[in-house]
Structure formats: structure tokens, C-alpha cells
Amino acid sequence: MYRLEPALQHYVWGSTHAIPALLGFAADDRPVAEAWFGAHPLAPARLVGASAPTLDALVSADPHAVLGDDVVARFGRELPYLLKLIAAASPVSLQVHPSRERARVGFEREDRAGVPIDAPERSYRDVNHKPELVFALSQLDAMVGFRAPRRAAELLVGLESSLAEQLHKLLTRDPSPGGVRAAFEWLLAPATRPHPDEVAALAHACQRRLDAGSPSPRTDRTVIRLHAQYPGDPGAVTSVLLNPVTLQPGEVLFVPAGAVHAYLEGFAVELMANSDNVLRAGLTSKHVDVPELLDNLDTVAAPPIRIAPEHVFTSTNVFYAPVDDFELSVTQLQDESDEVRLPGRGPRVLLCLEGTVQVRGEHDGTLRLEAGQSAFVPAAEGLLMARGAGRVVQAGVP
């Protein structure tokens, strides 16, 4: 078993305090948006006191021992998932993640064009898909997937804005996924996107409706908030088309490839396929590629996918995502005299969220994890047992 030091990402939308408080280091003025506990080559976690400096180097040195024969056969010589902490103090970009096939095609296309792998204008940084699961540590507000077209059209009624009228016309003319796509594309495509003054006018119309007693105050507040953060960006208006979601601590959301989404605010554990492929359409200062996002977009109206836990063993809830790359378990330990089994046998990443947890493997002794500390457990370590008084999350392969 190996102690980990995560790779930190200082994106502008990040919180200055949430991740430092959990991981136990001094906060400064820099936002800390994400902490990566994985083996993605762009930002691998570091290994403490090991011969290999980083987790991706450890995997490369002996993939069968580290990952296990089954994982190598199914996913190749790479850890198939990436565990993160995400702390959003302000809205994260309006985005979509590609399917595996789209990622492969896009990656090869950008490679042939000579775009450096770490270039800001690059959309595809690897050949993998990126479905993701979010486990809330605080209240987490987000927008995920499309509303029913008729419901979106209803929300535009009563807004005194030419932009609202045009969107309403598109949605009522074709109340199907095709109409939703037409409205979404009209808002964001370079050739048709509304002028910033039109976006501002719709935000002001939302404020007037809110002041007068809105039938949908949450939608109006979201448009107003996003416009204040990104003035003139039509991405703010897409919140009328998207499902609002609020997770309470301990609740889980799954976002499949192709689902448009944006996290608005909150602190969470994220678990995803081992990828950094993000296609953005707005609400960001980063690279935006609207045509590529539209090519990857699923416009079928569907409610957000909340995953209920399955209770296993004595102290563990497992959240099974509908993908083969990863699963998340959360174990709550209360009695230090009781030793409980943790699920899984393959390569696992452990992150202690609170208290103290002592983990014992079949071959490599024990490891004590305090709140904020993390570890990687190779497949060769076999079953894990844990005791203590605390809570630990584990990423693994189904």
C-alpha cells in the first residue's frame, strides 16, 4: 500500500478553503478547484516514500501486479478511473464529455494537426470517454441534461425579451429533442448566438419576473447568477433548457458521456473514467469548441440520474454506476474494536474524509489514514480490512 499526495488544480472557479481544509494544508489566495488522486499522465498523484515517483509510473512498472490480470485484459495497462475532489466556489463551464469512440477520433485528429497535448486550445487530451459520478460533501447545485421541451417553453412565457420569444418559438414549433437541439445550437453557435445586449435583456426580464413573483424563481435566479458571473454569455440562458439539480451531502449523481452539465457551486468527491476530455460551450475563460460539443451532445430529455446506494457488508454503501470503469464505496466506521471488510480486490484508491481509519491488507501490513490522507492499494494486495472511527471513500473497478 502506498500513501498518495494528490495533484492540485488551481482553476479560477475553485474554492480557496474547501480542499485545503480537508487535506490539512494552509490556504492562501489561490483557488484550489480540484485534487487528483489518480494516474492520468497530465497530473498523476505522487507516491510517498516509494521507488516510483508517481502513480502512473508505478502502474507502468508492473501493470499486472498493480492492476491485476483482469483489469489489464479489460482496460489495458492503465488505471481505468480517476478519483478527485472538486470544490466549486463559482460556476464551472457548460460542458459535455465524449464517448470512447468520439474521443479516439478527436484525439487522433488533433494529433495529426500537431496540437500539443497540453495546449490550452486542445479539446481531446486522451482517447478515453469520461462518464462521471459525483458524491456530495456539501450542498451541490448543478444543471444536468435537458428538460422536456414543453416545460422549457413554459418557463419562457412571460419574459419580456425578444430572445425568450425566439427560443419559445423554436421549442413550440418542434417539441422534440430536435427542437431542443435547435434552440441550444441557436443560442451557442457562432453564426446565430445572440448579442450580449440580448442576453442582458433576458437576464433583466428574469429579474423583473422574480421581483413580481416568478412561477419559476430557481430558473430566474440561475439565469441572473450566471449572467452576473459571465456577462453577455448565452450559456447563462441555457439554464432555461436544462434540469436543475441539488444534491445534499451523501447523495450521488451520475453524468453519462454526452450529457450537457455545469456544476454551479459545492464540494464533492468525483469519480470518473481516466480522462481529461472536456468539450466546453460557454461559462468559462478556457477553450470553447461549440461545434465539437454539439457533435457529442445528447438532446433527449431525461431526469438527472441519481444513484441510490446498496448496503454491503456491515458498514459500507456502494454506488454502482452503469459503466465498467469504476465504482465508489463509502465506509463509516464507529467502533475501533470491530474490523470490517472493504469491497473489491483490484486496484483501489482510498481517501479518508473524517476521523481515523486503519487499513490492513493480506500481504503488506497496515496503513493508518487520518482525515484528508489517501492511499493506493495494488490488486496484488488482495482483500482489505478496516477498523477505526471515521469515514473513508474507496474507488475501485467493478
- Residues that are catalytic: 280
User: Which DSSP letter does residue 336 get?
Assistant: T
Cell numbers describing residue 54: 508517481
**In DSSP terms, which residues pair with 280 in a beta bridge?**
95
- What residues have CB less than 8 Å from 161, skipping those under 6 apart? 198, 201, 202, 205
211: left (phi over 0), alpha (psi -120 to 50) or beta: alpha
Neighbours of 112 (CB within 10 A): 8
- What residues have CB less than 8 Å from 393, skipping those under 6 apart? 83, 135, 269, 328, 329, 330, 331, 350, 351, 353
Q: Which of 381, 342, 333, 341 is nearest to 361 (CA)?
A: 381
- For 33-59, b/e burial (b = at least 16 CB within 10 A) is bbbbbbbbeebbbbbeeeebebbbbbb
